Structure 1
């Protein structure tokens, strides 16, 4: 039997945000997955929120970057340094005591990508590193009882990936992971405004538009919302302000929305009949920051004919689930939901 200690931490290593859960304390850290590095020395200049404010605004000697893309590690060294910073910030410097770390990964990652996550956690100072698939962690964090022989469905829309799974008896029955999520919404908004208004905006401005006036279900909007966005005019090259409406954002994000709906339907088509029957009553639970997009639950409900519920704290579900999984290592490890590696 594993003995839980204060050194156990769970990490939601997201493309957009990193959340750290410490046993007995809850979620102690929630910061953007951004690192600012000095080009000449290779030293970390800033991490997290401080580095996010530098995106697109750094001088030539400093580069601000996201070391994770589409849910997997794109820059190994930066990811390791970022993880080390977050682990030390969450747990403090404990001398020779090293934490056991549970990190979530998207379903369908390659063995090389999975190994990179585990090795990064070990190099960052973990005594033991475990990985858990994202929809399993999301279901645990959302409070679903997945140990029973009954179907539960989770749609986790993060920054880089959307993970969809049907779970039963503590494991994943059928699933898919697509690299279409919050970042693709932002990119679609940038392209739309460039095409329709000849205005170049940054991804931060696009994200703000998505959060403030974005909608996935136009009919549900009670009032028409609009927002001013500033950028560079592609014709004159000068700064310019344009008013963007909620209807335009709805039009801009149609392609990634339909890809997510298509992936949900694909998993439902692969679901065994008995579990599909359970979903008629239990419905679909949505987690992740992308589920906060206005009307996306109504869109998926209309397209599938199933009830759709957004979790109480969708952004924290995966991090809470990684923490809960540390108390269930025996059961989940036996069912193949968790893979582990020891340091040294």
Structure 2
């Protein structure tokens, strides 16, 4: 009979990891989503120590103590601050593990289609420091397609547009391969910045990131609203007096601010579609576009994009989790895993310049 201790030693955690500019999302085989927190750390500026991660750090933002700074270690979907990104990933991988010192961890990590060899190695080193024993990397566009329901065996082409916090990735996939891709530096964070800038310049009110995010998720729309006069009271700091203040703002006032950014996404999609071969274009015409990522949750964006690109736009259930669920799916299909992912030796061999920590 195998002892309980021996069984514990044989446990393997198989993880899909979507580490993005805005969020770290980890799914574990058999447990689904176990981590979904902001990609933020809070730093004590005097000691350099990280004092909070994820949601705890986000809750400090705008209300930090004078010696505390909240920072995002990733930018445009890749590591910008290695030491802090390493700590962030280690913290959440530890949180996601089943427990026990002998748990073997293997992970498929999503990466942008245009990631450089040096950026890959930075992510590889961070994953190794997080005690992940076996590391694979997979294009986010392909993972999003699988996570949104596209079959790896499907010979016909499918188009997936993943709108993240800082980038929009477009992937055309067929039979388990990316046959065309494009990445552009447009993301939902731009909407936050545009809203905050508009309110500051035109209404004389400085608002915090929490207020801006709430406006984006609960109030504004990408599609022309039926009732332009719908309003909300927002609070912040008067830019002239510095005193606490509040203004009433309408959805009609903010609509052009949001639409200007979503229009750029539509233009990128349209440009990408013109680059496709005739057979692929025919498939996309029949099937439309799958919209994933956090940006897919912006009210009215599917309807807006459908009108602009003259194609159906479909949003799957829980579009924020499409990438991580596509990554996790690889553990059920080992042959496909070997086909579509890159392993650690390949990443090291293909790096053009050494990565130094």
Q: TM-score range with shorter-chain normalisation?
A: over 0.9
The Cα shift of 1:127 comes to 0.6
Deviations 1:278-316 (A, max 9, x none): 112211011111101111111111111111111111111
Instruction: Say which SS state the counterpart of residue 156 (structure 1) adopts.
Output: strand
Any stretches of 5+ residues in structure 2 without a counterpart? 1-9, 349-357
What residue is the counterpart of 2:305 in the other structure? Answer: 300
What residue is the counterpart of 1:100 in the other structure? Answer: 106
What residue is the counterpart of 1:79 in the other structure? Answer: 85
Q: Label 1:163 to 1:128 Cα distance change in 2 as closer, same or farther (>3 A).
A: same
Q: Map 1:130-149 to 2 at 5 A.
A: 130-149=136-155
The Cα shift of 1:224 comes to 4.4
The Cα shift of 1:137 comes to 0.9
1:272 maps onto 2:295 in alignment: no
Deviations 1:220-245 (A, max 9, x none): x4674322111111122211101121
What residue is the counterpart of 1:128 in the other structure? Answer: 134
What residue is the counterpart of 1:119 in the other structure? Answer: 125
Structure 1 length-normalised TM: 0.93
State the alpha-carbon separation in 2 of the partners of residues 288 and 327 from structure 1.
Answer: 23
Q: Map 1:1-344 to 2 at 5 A.
A: 6-219=12-225, 221=226, 224-334=229-339, 337-341=340-344
**CA contact 1:6–1:23 (8 Å) conserved in 2:** no
**CA contact 1:157–1:287 (8 Å) conserved in 2:** yes
**CA contact 2:12–2:104 (8 Å) conserved in 1:** no
**Whose Rg is larger?**
2
Instruction: Say which SS state the counterpart of residue 103 (structure 1) adopts.
Output: strand
State the alpha-carbon separation in 1 of the partners of residues 293 and 205 from structure 2.
Answer: 30
State the alpha-carbon separation in 2 of the partners of residues 150 and 22 from structure 1.
Answer: 30
Structure 2 length-normalised TM: 0.90
Q: Which sits farther off after the overlay, 306-315 or 200-209?
A: 200-209
State the alpha-carbon separation in 1 of the partners of residues 100 and 40 from structure 2.
Answer: 25
**CA contact 2:223–2:259 (8 Å) conserved in 1:** no
The Cα shift of 1:172 comes to 0.9
The Cα shift of 1:326 comes to 2.9
The Cα shift of 1:93 comes to 4.1
Q: Work out the number of aligned pairs and report it.
A: 338
**CA contact 1:6–1:22 (8 Å) conserved in 2:** no
State the alpha-carbon separation in 1 of the partners of residues 164 and 333 from structure 2.
Answer: 24
Q: CA RMSD in A?
A: 1.9
